Every structure is written in C-alpha cells, then in structure tokens.
Chain A
C-alpha cells in the first residue's frame, strides 16, 4: 500500500520567515495530494490540494509543489504569522480509492 513520510516533525520559525514542509510518497499511481491544517482542539481543515497533472499551485501565502518523478510534494508558507501555528498533515491518495494515506504531521510554531 501507499506510504507517506513527512518531515520535519517540528518546525520553529520567526514571524515573517518562510516555512517548508516536505512529504514523500511510495505509490507512483497516487494522483491527489491534499494538505490539512489542524489547530488546537479542532479537526483538520483543508488548506490547499494539488492533483498529479499540476506541478505547482498557489493560494495567497500558501503554495504546494509536486515532483512526480521524485515522488515528493511540499508545502510552502511565506511571511508566516503567529496564527499559522498549528499541526500540518500531508496526504496522498489513488484515483478512485478515496482512502488517503496521511503523513504523521508537522507541528509548526511561529514565534512573534
């Protein structure tokens, strides 16, 4: 089955810096890659996703890149703010399976 590795497990940055979280996946047939943000005491919420026919996608300060050849995808957050502090999860899924495989999460801490 699919295996998703996520790094780092903890990331500490100063406000205004950029943050990058990286994930690798094992199954080359995976074609959908969502990123979720989980704030304390809440459920994960989708922040951005990318499909395998696209190499990069941006939404304001957030971007995701996908390298299908290397089987890795990354979340980029620019101009970080304290409210970006949360746990971020990447996931990968195969077309038609609807059962995503999640990474173990990255705890992002943005210091004011």
Chain B
C-alpha cells in the first residue's frame, strides 16, 4: 500500500508555462483534495472531488483546474503559471462509509513548485 503518491517532488517553471501535478491513491478512497501551503501558513483548499466525475472548487481555485476520471487519480493543472503560484502543493484522500461519519485525510509528501 503506497498511500497517496505525488509527482513530481520538485519543479521549477517559467512564468506563463503550464504543468500538471499528478496525484494517485491506492486506498480506494472516494474523496480527494488539493491544498496549497505557503510558508508559515496553513493549508488552503484549491479543489476537491467526492468521486469519479465530480469536482468542486475550494477556497483558492483561480488559476487551477482538476479532473477526476478514475477513483485513483486526481491531477491538478496549472495554466499560465504565475509567481503567486509558487508554493508547496499537497494532495490528500479520505474515505466515507456513511453520510455523517468523517474520516481522517491521508496526505502525500507534496510537490514543491517554484515559478520564476
């Protein structure tokens, strides 16, 4: 069981370039999330998904896009990278087995992205 796997671990982009951050989980979790973490700050939710084919915006979605074609994968796309998107990006997943019972999130180890 690898848990949540994020690739790449590090990346440097030029302003205006695009890239996709990959996230995969092997725990059959239905919920997946993307967060960004800026230095000294907490976690800000970018997008989340409650299942394959369903995605929704979080707190800071501008400049990003996501898709969820399978249960396992939840890629995050950056279009026209800007310096403000320099951050550490974390993908997470969790499982719900009944409507009112929250479960903990499992996080990947992050992608450190610099935009110059």
Which residue of chain B has its CB nearest to the CB of A49? Answer: B104
Evaluate contact between A98 and B42: CB separation under 8 angstroms: no
Contact with B along A80-108 (1 / 0, CB 8 A): 00000000010001011111101111000
Q: In the complex, which of the residues A31, A41, A89, A104 contacts B102, with contact meaning CB atoms closer than 8 Å? A: A31
Residue A45 at the chain B interface, CB threshold 8 Å = yes
Find residues 56-99 in chain B having any chain A CB closer than 8 Å to their own CB.
58, 90, 92, 94, 96, 99
Majority DSSP secondary structure for residues of A touching B: loop
Binary A-proximity of B101-115 (CB < 8 A = 1, otherwise 0): 110111111100000
A32 cross-chain contacts in B, Cβ below 8 A: 102
A103 to B45, CA, bound (A): 13
Q: Is the CB of A43 within 8 A of B99?
A: no
* Chain B proximity of A108: nearest CB distance (Å): 15
Q: Which B residues are in CB contact (< 8 Å) with A100?
A: 102, 105
* Complex CA–CA separation, A100 to B107 (angstroms): 13
Kindly state the interface size class of chain B when it binds its partner.
20 to 34
B90 touches A44 (CB 8 A): yes
Q: Does the CB pair A96–B100 fall under 8 Å?
A: yes
Complex: A43 Cα to B58 Cα, angstroms: 19
Complex Cα spacing A95 to B4, Å:
24
Residue-wise interface mask of A (30-58) relative to B, using a CB-CB cutoff of 8 A (1 in contact, 0 not): 01101010000111111001000000000
C-alpha spacing A56/B41, complex, angstroms: 28
Using A89-B43, A102-B42 as known contacts, say yes or no to A95 and B109 having CB atoms under 8 A apart: no
> At the interface, yes or no: B34 with Cβ under 8 Å from chain A?
no
12 A-B pairs, CB-CB below 8 angstroms? A36-B107, A43-B4, A43-B109, A44-B90, A46-B105, A89-B43, A96-B99, A98-B31, A98-B96, A99-B58, A100-B102, A103-B42
Contacts A41-B109, A46-B106, A95-B100 aside, 18 further interface pairs with beta carbons under 8 A come to A32-B102, A34-B104, A36-B107, A41-B110, A42-B109, A43-B107, A43-B109, A44-B90, A89-B42, A96-B99, A97-B102, A98-B50, A98-B102, A99-B45, A99-B58, A100-B102, A102-B42, A104-B42
